[in-house]
Amino acid sequence: MTDISLPLTILARAKINLYLHVAAPDAKNYHPLQSLVMFADVGDEVALRPKNVPQEARLTCDGPFADGVPTDDSNLILKALRRFEMVTGINIDRHDIHLTKNLPVASGLGGGSADAGAVLHLLRAQYAPDLTDAALEAIAATTGADGAMCLWAESALAEGYGERLTKLSLPAVPAVLINPGIACSTPDVYGQYDRLGQFDPIEASAPFRSIINIDHLIDALSETRNDLEAPAVHLHPQIGDFLTGLSGEPETRLARLSGSGATCFALCDTLADAKRLAERLIEKYPQSWVRACTLS
Ligand code: ATP
């Protein structure tokens, strides 16, 4: 029986890389990195639905960006579900999964990893409440380097390949997210980064462990960068135009690309500023995806 007092729907929050320092590829051809991540109060919606028809699809998907999402075994939700079944020995036989895809796909917002993390929380609550956080994190990690960070969806410093997390206490910060509608392939952007061949040290000098307010956060971020910005702009020059435009807006305290793009973000002082900026951007770029939000 489904316990209806437990959550059946959860928000899979968008991940923002406030900075992203990327080293040269190592012997395994992976890129060590250091990144500050925070999570928006916007995201996909992942739901467990009581199974009525035995042969119904395991995963269904709707929402504004459903077209770009695979619903076969390559979907990170199903990858996480299978791994959960394998690790716990429990057959997920009472529910199917429904995804409402609100986040643009391949956009630097970590939507797939966030969806996987969200379904793991729901499955644990319904099927294996005694499963430890460490075990849940280990399952999430099998979905990709961002699996653990998107499972917890909390402000953190990410190191290693993104899987080594130090949780940070940071002030909530209002922001605007804008995606110009360009799907940015993460492998392509990393490939271009390697071809450009400019590798700077990845250790941030700023003290992100003791940030007390937005001014302090923005000062510290001004000493950091997103190393994938130059290769992403090289592949899609339109991203550069968006970043230049965002930087010039009066409400913008800092504008940058998230992850490998193409979503850009502007940090603002207040949510009212973020909403005002978002309204103007929607008018100026009606084809773009724009959201005012709070990062935490
Ligand atoms: P990251 O910032 O972690 O690189 P991203 O936002 O750039 O993530 P995603 O939206 O997670 O990228 O999607 C990357 C690819 O993963 C897509 O092209 C898609 O084929 C595949 N994918 C698998 N599962 C999902 C999912 N649940 N939602 C979206 N894409 C998924």
Whether 146 sits among the annotated catalytic residues: the reply is yes
Ligand 1 pocket, residue 76 CB under 6 Å: yes
Residue nearest to atom 25 of ligand 1 (CA): 112
Same domain, 144 and 234: no
Same domain, 255 and 156: no
Ligand 1 pocket, residue 64 CB under 6 Å: no
- Within-domain flag for 79: yes
- End-of-domain residue from the set 167, 185, 217: 167
Task: Give the pLDDT of the chain (296 residues) as one tens digit per residue.
Answer: 556 667 799 999 999 999 999 999 999 999 999 999 999 999 999 999 998 776 667 999 999 999 989 999 999 999 999 999 999 999 999 999 999 999 999 999 999 999 999 999 999 999 999 999 999 999 999 999 999 999 999 999 999 999 999 999 999 999 999 999 998 999 999 999 999 999 999 999 877 888 999 999 999 999 999 999 999 999 999 999 999 999 999 999 999 999 999 999 999 999 999 999 999 999 999 999 999 999 99
Q: Three-state secondary structure along 223-280?
A: CCCECCHHHHHHHCHHHHHHHHHHHCCCCCCEEEECCCCCCEEEECCCHHHHHHHHHH
- CA–CA gap between residue 78 and residue 89 (Å, rounded): 16
CATH code, domain carrying 190: 3.30.70.890
What is the pTM for the complete model shown? 0.95
- CA–CA gap between residue 88 and residue 124 (Å, rounded): 10
Give Cα 196 distance to the centre of its chain. 25
- Within-domain flag for 42: yes
Q: Would you say 76 and 113 are in contact if contact means Cβ atoms under 8 Å apart?
A: yes
Q: Would you say 140 and 10 are in contact if contact means Cβ atoms under 8 Å apart?
A: no
Q: What is the crossing angle of helices 76-88 and 111-127, to 10°?
A: 30
CATH code, domain carrying 18: 3.30.230.10
Same domain, 13 and 134: yes
> What was the pLDDT predicted at 235?
97
The parent domain of residue 22 ranges over: 9-167
Same domain, 148 and 41: yes
- CA–CA gap between residue 92 and residue 218 (Å, rounded): 45
- Within-domain flag for 184: yes
Question: What residues contact 1, with CB distance under 8 A and at least 6 apart?
Answer: 94
φ, ψ of residue 259 in degrees (nearest 5): 55, -135
> What was the pLDDT predicted at 210?
86
Atom number, ligand 1, closest to the C-alpha of residue 76? 24
Residue nearest to atom 26 of ligand 1 (CA): 112
- End-of-domain residue from the set 141, 167, 193: 167
Number of domains in the chain: 2
Same domain, 152 and 184: no
Same domain, 150 and 13: yes
- Within-domain flag for 2: no
Same domain, 198 and 286: yes
- Within-domain flag for 23: yes
Same domain, 33 and 122: yes
- The rounded Å distance from CA 70 to ligand 1 centre is 9
Ligand 1 pocket, residue 44 CB under 6 Å: no
- End-of-domain residue from the set 116, 139, 167: 167
> What was the pLDDT predicted at 3?
64
- The rounded Å distance from CA 207 to ligand 1 centre is 31
Angle at 38 between CA 9 and CA 223, to 5 degrees: 170
Ligand 1 pocket, residue 258 CB under 6 Å: no
> What was the pLDDT predicted at 56?
67
- CA–CA gap between residue 289 and residue 104 (Å, rounded): 8
- The rounded Å distance from CA 143 to ligand 1 centre is 11
Same domain, 179 and 155: no
Q: How many beta carbons lie within 10 A of that of residue 145, not counting itself?
A: 17
- Within-domain flag for 4: no
Residue nearest to atom 18 of ligand 1 (CA): 106
Same domain, 61 and 144: yes
Listed residue (65, 114, 115) closest to 289, CA to CA: 65
- CA–CA gap between residue 109 and residue 155 (Å, rounded): 14
Same domain, 17 and 133: yes
- Within-domain flag for 255: yes
Amino acid sitting at position 273: D
The HSE-up count of residue 224 (CA atoms within 13 Å, CB side) is 29
> What was the pLDDT predicted at 57?
73
Ligand 1 pocket, residue 75 CB under 6 Å: yes
> What was the pLDDT predicted at 95?
94
Among 62, 75, 185, residue to substitute to test ligand 1 (most atoms within 8 Å of Cβ): 75
Q: How many beta carbons lie within 10 A of that of residue 105, not counting itself?
A: 16
- Give buried/exposed letters for 114-126 (b at 16+ CB in 10 A, else e): bbbbbbbbbbbbb
- The rounded Å distance from CA 75 to ligand 1 centre is 8
- Within-domain flag for 3: no
> What was the pLDDT predicted at 4?
63
Which residue among the candidates 44, 101, 115, 146 is catalytic per the annotation?
146
Same domain, 122 and 215: no
- CA–CA gap between residue 290 and residue 15 (Å, rounded): 15
- CA–CA gap between residue 231 and residue 244 (Å, rounded): 16
